[in-house]
Amino acid sequence: MTVHVVAGQFGDTTGAMQSLTDATMQAIDLKAGGSVTLPAPAGRAVFLYVVEGTVDIGDEKVEQYTRVEFDQSGDEITLTATDTAHVIYGHAPLIEEPVTARGPFVMTTHEEVVQAARDFQAGRFK
């Protein structure tokens, strides 16, 4: 098992990127039968995405190209690979407001996203 820390911390390892939003992001490689236990801090948005392979989380099998969002109750999450797996795992503070996305633009309303796209196309972004 290898955990590549992109942002945040895992054990004694700190990611090379300092997140402006206190997000933690990790890329995890697991061999078949390998497992890892990850922190799932209370009050944070916690998710994972299986890029390759299949992992078990408790009694649930999570297959390739599947995103899982966890509740914010806090605890830890143990992943066990049923075959070679690559997983993206992260957690961040809750946004506590609506989120709308279109392409690279993320705003709180559809109208704001449309306006951002128009501004970009008009060359107003520098």
Whichever domain contains 32, its CATH number is 2.60.120.10
Residue 108 and residue 121 share a domain: yes
Residue 64 and residue 7 share a domain: yes
Residue 62 and residue 35 share a domain: yes
Q: What per-residue confidence (pLDDT) applies to 6?
A: 95
Please give the model's pTM, rounded to 2 decimal places: 0.78
Residue span of the structural domain in which 43 resides:
2-93
* Rg, C-alpha atoms of the chain: 17
Residue 67 and residue 55 share a domain: yes
Residue 116 and residue 72 share a domain: no
Residue 88 and residue 100 share a domain: no
Cβ atoms 110, 48 nearer than 8 A? no
Number of domains in the chain: 2
Q: What per-residue confidence (pLDDT) applies to 51?
A: 98
Q: How far is CA 33 from the centre of its chain?
A: 23
Confidence band for 95, pLDDT divided at 50, 70 and 90: confident
Number of neighbours of residue 25 by Cβ within 10 angstroms:
17
Mean pLDDT of 8-16: 92
Q: Per-residue pLDDT for 61 more than 80?
A: yes
